Structure 1
């Protein structure tokens, strides 16, 4: 991995070249021995789209923010079943284009960056050695909106890999998220303003790619600036889950709208991520329970004491106060001595589980937040009977994009 020239080898590159020479129509699927999978869609020998990788939803969100900033992702009305297709992301772009929400040049930039990211990941994770290739002549994208030269993409991938490797980053995936592990040591080495920026951004919620996009900088200098702290153990790079898009439930039927939830158990979520709070709210409310969200860790205790929820989801990593600290303080209050506290985290580590038990957490739930997992935990600790009509709202969603 430390010698970029070794990347130019064997069967995968040959497959890409063959598809170009044959003016191939269909798709090429590449799968590594570790189960990673990528799909490259072809039209007339050119790559018109790519899918797969570790974080398809994060990638889509990031590219939308960068290339289509006029679109408010939170106001998109998406059908759940269409998010299950291998080109759901491209399909949404098509819908937005037909409704004149985005322009063709935006789509071209979006497509180019998506293909570049996935080719880079393919190179890093397979070293172009341990992978299988399968071609299918099934044409999925009949009228693609952007055409990319595969030869140009291969050259760009090799160049970007060389820059990444020569910067000393060959062993780090850009899909890892930095977490501040030794804040005291960092505070001694940087200014107060730089320290505050680290605390706000280096919290395990943003991958290296996410951080670069938020900072509007290239990923190489951003990651390179973190490298000294990573090597000293002040910052750790960890794997994080993807961030699925919200699926809007079908409107309530008259029968379900009459369900009285005024006496239903109250569930609280303490998490600085609006996305996580909104996803939990949709799941909890759709199952007939009441819900409150607290995104400011400083306000967590006062709000919880005031509302006295029956169950609390508590994010592990937040600015100012983490989940361990808040849980410790809660257990010192008699009113919360027996309240179920569920630690939310993107890192399912044994050390975190042990520490969560030590501070009095009831249970541990790893992200991503999905309905079955959430309600399984809720039912385990609360006397909940799911309303059938309400449950169906999550299962019968339709894919469309709001005007």
Structure 2
């Protein structure tokens, strides 16, 4: 069982079940230590809508293209206030339904797909980050058009995530965009027609999910078909921005609606000790920064490449790959040429310090980990981060 499955079975599944049993009305807010947020809207114990994630506008565009192809979303005359609320996408669907532009069945399909996509993303983030949740009744959707069983949705998510992981895709988010990096190498191993399709479609402008919709196929077989080229470095998966809608200001001037996005720096910890990771997570997140933990040294590089943290705490002694080896490989990647890498070790020997410097580490922290040491390092190497030592944080020590 993967870490994400454990999280869902032990924590979030219970929360979803509780909301169902209580016939809850309101929001279930979920947040990861990496800064991502999701909101599930409940009515009488069933999920009626969900928002959040990496690309809310791209997701809505995909759902409209699949379920309501008769509506050109780029020609909609939306006002700024129409997209100012968190559930703007649901509100627009309500308006379309009242104007008889779309049917209830179309909304039901969009709702089910949206909920499934966000649950999948939640499972993926849960693989590398801690998840917390809380309930709030400040917003209750009064006249929901669709109702979705939380139990069935979570079961579907677990099945989907299992298949995705077993296909070797656990480290690849479907919200990443494929871009062709070595066209000349690709040209040597595929037919001219296939090469032409690659050049036209693999351009870094469409995420894997966008591409799947464009090609009218599921994202799983599409990504699986690209995996050999990704592993060879012919194709790279990169982060791309959302694709906001154009809305009108009060003076009828068109502007681009921007999704809410966290700008807090991301701090990573690569350490096989759960205690060290938890201690660092408490210190980092309590000071308003985002955090990601990586306890498997084998997964360190692909995860760091995907998430691109602003600062990395790296354990020196781990099974399979040492901190020296990981740091050496990181410094060979241009994206990490200047990223602060802080070595964590239980030894304060001069030899360790010298060797850590040789492989490219930025600084050195000896265990046990304590808040003032960590905050001092973060303040030193992330000067733009507004942080301070949380006086309510107990000065606990964790030593591997």
TM-score of the aligned structures, taking structure 2 as reference length: 0.62
Q: Is contact 1:7–1:128 with CA below 8 Å preserved after alignment?
A: no
Task: Give SS of 1:50's match.
Answer: strand
Tell me by how many angstroms 1:140 deviates.
2.6
- The equivalent of 2:364 in structure 1 is none
Distance 1:78 1:123 in 2: 33
Match of 1:331 in 2: none
Partner residue, 2:171: 171
Q: Which runs of 4+ in 1 moved over 6 A?
A: none
Aligned-partner Cα distance in 1 for 2:153–2:128: 15
* CA distance in 2 between partners of 1:140 and 1:3 (Å): 32
Distance in 2 (CA, whole Å) between partners of 1:192 and 1:100 is 47
Kindly indicate whether the alpha-carbon contact (under 8 Å) linking 1:46 and 1:150 is maintained by their aligned counterparts in 2: yes
1:146 alignment counterpart = 146
Q: What residue ranges of structure 1 are gaps of 5+ in the alignment? A: 254-277, 283-348, 352-403
Secondary structure of 1:247 counterpart: strand
SS of the equivalent of 1:63 reads helix
Q: How does 1:213-362 map to 2 (within 5 A)?
A: 213-249=213-249
Alpha-carbon distance, 1:7 to partner = 5.1
Partner of 1:196: 196
Between the aligned partners of 2:52 and 2:4, the Cα distance in structure 1 is 24
Contact 1:36 1:53 in 2 (8 A): yes
TM-score, scaled relative to structure 1 = 0.61
User: Which digits, 9 at most, give the CA deviation of each residue in 1:74-122, with x for residues without a partner?
Assistant: 2211011221211000000001111111111000000000000000001
Q: Which runs of 5+ in 2 are unaligned?
A: 258-332, 336-400
Equivalent position of 1:156 in the other structure: 156
Q: Deviations over 1:266-322 (max 9, x none)?
A: xxxxxxxxxxxx979x9xxxxxxxxxxxxxxxxxxxxxxxxxxxxxxxxxxxxxxxx
Query: Take 1:223 and 1:2, find their aligned partners in 2: how far apart are those partners?
Result: 21
Structure with the bigger RCO (C-alpha within 8 Å, sep 6+) is: 1
Tell whether 2:94 aligns with 1:94: yes
- Please give the alpha-carbon distance, in whole angstroms, between the structure 2 residues aligned to 1:183 and 1:232: 12
Aligned pairs for 1:74-85 (under 5 A) are 74-85=74-85
Instruction: Report what 1:208 is aligned to.
Output: 208
1:186: Cα distance to partner?
0.3
Aligned partner of residue 9 in structure 1, secondary structure: helix
Structure 2 equivalent of residue 383 of structure 1: none
Which deviates the most, 130-139 or 196-205?
Answer: 130-139
Size of the aligned set, in residue pairs, is 260
Q: Match of 1:110, SS?
A: helix
* Residues in 2 aligned to 1:5 and 1:249: alpha-carbon distance in whole angstroms: 44
The one-character-per-residue Cα deviations of 1:100-148 (angstroms, maximum 9, x if unpaired) are 1111100000000000000000111123971111101234310000000
SS at match of 1:156: helix
State the Cα deviation string for residues 181-207 of structure 1 (Å, max 9, x = none): 000000001011111110111010000
